[in-house]
Amino acid sequence: MVTTERKLILLDFEKPLAELESRIVQIRELADENDVDVSGEIRHLESRAVQLRQEIFSNLSPLQRLQVARHPRRPGTLDYIQAISDEWMELHGDRGGFDDPAMVAGVARFAGRPVVMLGQQKGHDTKDNITRNFGMASPGGYRKALRLMEHADRFGMPILTFIDTPAAWPGLDAEAFGQGEAIAFNLREMFKFEVPIICTVIGEGGSGGALGIGVGDRLLMFEHSVYSVAPPEACAAILWRDAAKAPQAANALKITSTDLKSLGIIDEILPEPIGGAHADPLSAAETLKTCLIKHLDELSRLTIQQRHDLRYQKFRAIGVFTEL
């Protein structure tokens, strides 16, 4: 699904665009070599390239959006934290003997106020992904996150979480050390915290691994991110015993930001640069920062009880349906 050309990582549906951009480069080089003015044709092709990019990324299928969400160059938690915070100090360990690199957490200064920021961290290459366990946190990772969130609640610091994981780590060791209990405990405690909590799906939000840091007053989501009860491949394998039916599963799961906004599960969709957040990470970070400041200001004007009621009602409403 992903190919490498000219040291760029391309998704399958981006190949027509890559071919057009390659043609523009070739024409420009030939024109320079032969001292020929083809500026008019180049402008026309560049305009067509912009139009084609807009057409491609405005009509992505759910499975294609999943590919964008999983793009190796897509900005991760640490990328956004470093881009939007004035100061950042990462803290390690769950105080129980573990420090999970798949979950990063720390204290920061954001828009002039102290906050706690945390989230799953994937790698940008194979070696880094192995180190970070592909963003799939262990029980120690969720306990580390909880330790930092308790610190935030104790000292009145808002909590900003960034969700980017296919799921919690499903290995035998994770189960032996209480993966389900760790996530369930986080869910319960996050409902109790008195400080504002804003959760943002920045890439792939999958299963209980996403929910383990996903209980908040606001749930934001980047345009090409996905948020689901299970990855489409896993869903297809369970329902049809055939992972090749992942496109069918992706459509049924309603994993896209537009679907989830219409269902009332997320509160706001953050627009991405044309081509995805990885095409212009700084622009994506600026969009995220502006939106977080807006929601923090709104939540800070509410009382603790109002935030508790808002959080409770938000999650009670998920899954409500009407029979015709």
Q: How far is CA 110 from CA 71, 114, 171, 257, 265, in A?
A: 27, 6, 36, 26, 26
pTM: 0.87
pLDDT digit string, tens, across residues 165-195: 999 999 999 999 999 999 999 999 999 999 9
State pLDDT tens for residues 219-244.
Answer: 999 999 999 988 888 889 999 998 88
CA distance linking residue 210 with residue 190, whole number of Å: 13
Looking at residue 152, its pLDDT comes to 97
Cβ–Cβ < 8 Å for 161, 211:
no
Task: With a cut of 70, list the residues of the chain below it in pLDDT.
Answer: 1-8, 10, 14, 20, 33, 35-38, 322, 324
The position carrying tokens 């799921």 is 167
Output the pLDDT for position 55: 75
Q: What is the pLDDT of residue 6?
A: 36
